[in-house]
Structure formats: C-alpha cells, structure tokens
A and B are shown apart, each in its own frame.
Chain A
Amino acid sequence: MSEMTYRDALNLALKEELRRDPSIVVWGEDVALYEGSFKVTRGLLAEFGGERVLDTPISENTIVGVAVGAAMGGLRPVAELMTVNFALLAMDQIIDHMTKIRYMFGGQVNLPMVIRAPGGGGSQLAAQHSQSLETFFMHAPGMHVAYPSTPADAKGLLKTAIRDNNPVMFLEHELLYNSKGEVPEDPEFLVPFGKCDVKREGNDVTIVAYARMTVLALQAAEELAKENIACEVVDLRTLAPLDTDTFVASVKKTGRAVVVEECWKTCGLGAEIATRIYDGCFDSLRAPVRRVSGLDVPMPYSRKLEKLCIPQVADIVAAVKETVAAKY
C-alpha cells in the first residue's frame, strides 16, 4: 500500500493498463501534450507515445463515436470527455450507438471501451459546468457506470473498467482529485463491478451514497457517532450494475435508510434506490426512506447559493437524526 491522491491513483491505473495491453489507446481533448485538464493523463504521452495517446478536436460526439468504431475494430479505447457536462453533446453516440450496438446487432460485437468524465459541483463553475448527470447514464441499459469515492476504488474500478468487454461510463468527481488514501500497489488489484462497499459499519441507520457523497456521509457518520447514532455507510461504487442486495441487507439490519445523491432530486437515482429498498425490505423499515439530494435548480455561481444546492454534511446529519427520531 502507498498513499496517493485520487488523481494519481487514476493515473496509475491508466499507466498499468497501457503497459499491460498494447491494444489500449487513450484520447480526448488536451489529454496528450497538455496532459489533461485535471492532469489525470500526466506522463502518458511521454511513456506511450503519440500513436496511443492522442489529442482530439473539440468534437465530443465524435470523441465517443470514434471510440465506438475503434472498439468494434479490435482496440480498447479509453476516451476522456473533459467534463461530464460535455457528455450531453455526445449523448447520441453514448445512448443511440454505444449502448445499443451490441443488442440491436444481435450480440455479434462487443464494445470494450471506457469514457472517463470528471464531474460534480462545488467549484463555482456555474450552471453549465457543475452538473451531476449520473442518473442519465444509469437510466440507459447497455453500459456500466462506475463512480469511485476513494483513491483505492478509483484505481481498482478504472482497471476493471478498462478490462470490461462492455462499454463503461467512468465518472470521476472533480473535488476528489486531491483527496488522499492508501492504494494497493499490486498491478492486479481490481475492484469488482456490481459490489457495494460498506465503508463504515453501524446498526442504527444505513446511509447509501456514492462518490463525493460517500465522503460526506462518512463525515456525517463520525459526527453522529458522538451522539451515539451508529451509521452504516454503503458506497455504491458502481451505479450500473447496481448492487441492490448489499444495501437492502444493510437496511434489513438497521431498519432505517438515508440516500444521499448529488444529482437533482426529481427522478434522481435516490428515488430508484428508495424504491428498491421498499421492494426489498419494506417489513424491516422502521421509518420512511429519506433522501438528501441536490436542489432542482440550475447551479448558481455565487458561493453562498451554490452551497445550498449540493448536499452538505449538516444536511445528512439532520436527515439521519430525523429518521432515527421518527416514530411510526
């Protein structure tokens, strides 16, 4: 194990996989010479050369579409969208093509490709650069969706994504790039898809979260522990496949659930998780499932307003307390 940042863990995953498999190629806007807007691709051009690490024009739909074609042609492309917000320009290739091709062509072709996309709010980048679009991708069958919360998961999940023979939407949280943690050095360290990670155990209430919301949930759990409320924090890690069994088992144990989502509340992934909890363990529930969500507004620029729109530790603490206090 060695301590490194989420950014460096992702960078290491890319380097290890590029060394392992010569059919892996990396492209995106400013990923090569400039080494990435968030420097996740630092050093790749120098080590692997311009045939495998390529800068592209600002043509997001085509960045994805060329990866679809290259995957069809026998390569394993890892394409970067500079931010997930620009995925909206590429939704035709992502949804109409990438997720459909295997099915509509009768399973005759695989698309082993990854789209990396940093996202999330909290950096005062205003409405067009602060979106949390994870629910959009979960909604469409035909791709896997990963969204790590720790450096170790970042490394292990990205390596699994690159080795997956299905297309993967790999989301990264911009505010986690500098977060630090212990990361296994083993180049065969992989984190499986479709397995939640119980990041903290507790018997009073289950907090289901993902990515940066997991980090906030753990901070909330720490505060709540001082008031003798024991939270179990379940980190989804992959949104598709969604490991329903693990969070339902946790709620069966605790009888209470709070779901934390950074995305907009309306039709947000928290609604899906709450429904699965109701379906999976209604009889075990001692209180309704609560949701802590992003506000249903375009993200404002002002620091004061932006903070209102993104779930905060205090919001999670309050939701847990209300859930625990509820008498039914």
Chain B
Amino acid sequence: MKEASLRAILPDHELVRMYEQMVLCREFEESCAEQYTKGHITGFLHLYSGQEAVAVGSTHALHKDDYILSAYREHAQAIVRGAEPRRVMAELFGKSTGICKGKGGSMHLFDPDLSFMGGYAIVGGQFPIAVGLAFASKFRKEGRIAACFFGDGAVNQGTFHESLNWARLWELPVLFVCENNAYGIGTSVERASALADIHKRTCGYDIPSVRVDGMDVMAVHEAVKWGAEWVREQSRPYLIEALTYRFRGHSMADPGKYRSAAEVELWKSRDPLPAFAIRLIEEGIVTQAEMGAIKQEAIAIVQEAVTFAEESPWPEDGAVWEDIYV
C-alpha cells in the first residue's frame, strides 16, 4: 500500500518546520556532547539523538496549551515546544540566563508559559504529576490534556501502575507516551519487563493503547493526533508506545558496550532525519539545496546558543537561597 502523501496530512510549512526542528534537536544534542567534553556542561547529560521523531511528531499533534511532561532526556521536548535553544544551553552551562536560572540543569527544564511542565529525574516521578495536571484541567474545564512522556524503564515503577489505574478510575485526560528506546541504562526491555510488549501492559487498567514506529515522525504524528483527540473527547487515558533508539549511550558517562555494533548500525540505518528528508524531497516539499540551508541554519542557532551560554553571567551567590519558598 502506498503511503499517504505528506501534503494530505499537513501543510508544507508545518512539514518543513518539523524537519527543521528535528535537525535543530540533533545539532543541539551533538553540540551538547562537545560542550560536555570541553567541561562547559557538567553533571549528568542524557542526549536525545535518534529519538527526534517522537518529540517532533508528538508536539505537532498536540494543542499548544496541552501539558507536556517528560523525564531527564528532555532537551528536545522543551525546544520543540518552543523553549529558546540559547536559554536551554545556558541552563546546561549553569548560568543565570538559563530557562530555570541554572538551578535545574539538563534534567530539569521547565517553562509554564509553554505548558512544558518539566523534566523529572526520578524514573516514573512524572506519572502522578501528569495525572494531577489532567485533574486540574478537567476540574477547571480547560480542555487541555496532559501528555506524559517516559522511557521503557519507567514502566516497572509503582507510579506507572498507580497512575494508569488512577487516570482510568477518575476518567482523566492523560496521554501516556512511552519512548521505548530498548534499554534502561544497560538493561534491555526483555531483561527488565516480564511482558516486553509495553503497550499491552495497559490491559489491566482497561486503557487502550497502540504501538507505533518511533523512527517515523509522521507515524508518531498520526498516532498522537488520534490518541490526543480521543483522550480529549473521551476524557480517558490512552497509551502510545513508540519504538525508538538512542544513538548514544544512556548518558555521556556510558560507552554503551551492552549493545552490539550491528544493532546500533541497524538502528542508525533507520535514522529518522534522513528518512523524513527523503520523503520531503520526493514529494517536492523541500529541495536538496534547501536541505543544506536548513542544516546550516540549525548549526548557526546552536552556535549562537553556545556563545550566549558562554557569555552569560553565573548566578549571584544570593540566588542559592532564592526560590525555595514563596
């Protein structure tokens, strides 16, 4: 069966925007790796390279005021939602101009004006918070849903099961999106989950679910579009499992030796960026020359972000006591 034309799904400018964001996210993450090596970014650093189709496909399928929550591999989620790359980079540098004033760092990006309700670094910590945001939205009749992103490792935390049960019981609009990148640090899904088909684990809570190719931005977009509207209309939870892969280790400290070279190469051959680029070119939406310009533009944005972060001031010492209490 021939795939539907991209133009039948979204207008050209949005398709181009999606591709631009995927390239920007990749360039941003690769630049982060470089800045980490130089010692400008310290602490934990978990990069998203390889998973761009999930953040971009999902975000474009949600309403702008729908809540988004994620875990600690969330730079791309924040940037695609609208966070300025320079303020995200400044946050990673620990500078006062960072999106959280340098208090959160890589794992704790947050911007309520974008309804980006945070990166959380305790595996599974964001589940109940997403349920609470969905409750508030329903209570206040706002029509917003809570899109809760998490990794395959999080499904074995108690909060996953408590929150699925709760969201179904109270009929709350939560869209659970599992970014199954096949490994929780070094432990594969098969070695951690009795039932490795993560999307099937919702059956105990009477929550429908679907598995989607997380390397295909349009497949993710379609699944999230359908899922988000179902969640909104039914005021009930839904779960999407996106099969994806991180091209780098769990964090910068992880050389990733538990994965075979053949496996990594197989997934890299399915890189979501060139896959989408080919479709855009084939359908005449973007030319080869424009592809080059998109990449150069992304590199320029990231370079500017690094310069901004480098030149930004450190927080004042007094800031250490600020923001604990109202």
Contact = CB atoms under 8 A, between A and B. Distances in A.
B186 interface: no
Interface stretch (B125-133, B214-222, B274-282): B125-133
B323 A51 contact: no
B108 A105 contact: yes
B232 interface: no
Nearest to B135: A70
Interface in A64-123: 64-75, 77, 92-93, 96-97, 101-110
Given A54-B170, A65-B132, A106-B110, A92 B104 contact: no
Interface in B280-326: 322-326
A71 B132 contact: yes
A148 B1 CA distance: 70
Interface centre among B131, B132, B135 (most CB of A within 10 A): B132
Contacts of B139: 25, 51, 70, 75
A103 B136 contact: no
Given A72-B132, A74-B140, A108 B100 contact: yes
Nearest to B117: A72
Residue of A25, A70, A73 with highest tally of chain B CB at under 10 A: A73
A190 to B, nearest CB: 16
Contact of A165 (B98, B102, B165, B326): B326
A13 B130 CA distance: 29
Interface stretch (B155-163, B244-252, B259-267): B155-163
Contacts of A57: 162, 165-166, 169
A104 B100 contact: yes
Contacts of A110: 326
Contacts of A106: 98-104, 110, 323
B326 A166 contact: yes
Interface in B152-209: 158-159, 162-163, 165-166, 169-170
Contact of B133 (A56, A72, A102, A107): A72
A62 B118 contact: no
B136 A73 contact: yes
Interface string A248-272: 0000000000000000000000000
Contact of A65 (B98, B129, B134): B129
Contact of A109 (B112, B136, B324): B112
A105 B162 contact: no
A280 to B, nearest CB: 20
Contact of A56 (B122, B166, B323): B166
A66 B128 CA distance: 5
A69 B170 contact: no
B137 interface: yes
Contacts of A103: 103, 323-324
A66 B158 contact: no
Given A59-B162, A142-B324, A66 B132 contact: yes
A124 interface: no
A108 B112 CA distance: 7
A135 interface: no
A232 B88 CA distance: 55
A75 B128 CA distance: 15
A169 B36 CA distance: 39
Given A73-B137, A110-B326, A105 B128 contact: no
A67 B140 CA distance: 15
B149 interface: no
B159 A97 contact: no
A141 interface: yes
A61 B111 contact: no
Contacts of A108: 100, 110-112
A75 to B, nearest CB: 5
14 contacts: A51-B139, A54-B170, A57-B169, A62-B131, A68-B128, A69-B133, A72-B129, A97-B120, A97-B122, A101-B118, A104-B110, A106-B102, A108-B100, A108-B110
Shortest beta-carbon contacts, A-B, top 8 = A69-B132, A65-B128, A73-B136, A107-B323, A106-B100, A105-B110, A59-B162, A69-B129
Given A70-B139, A73-B136, A92-B159, 17 more contacts: A56-B166, A57-B162, A57-B166, A59-B166, A66-B129, A66-B132, A68-B129, A72-B133, A73-B132, A73-B135, A102-B323, A102-B326, A103-B324, A105-B104, A109-B110, A110-B326, A164-B326
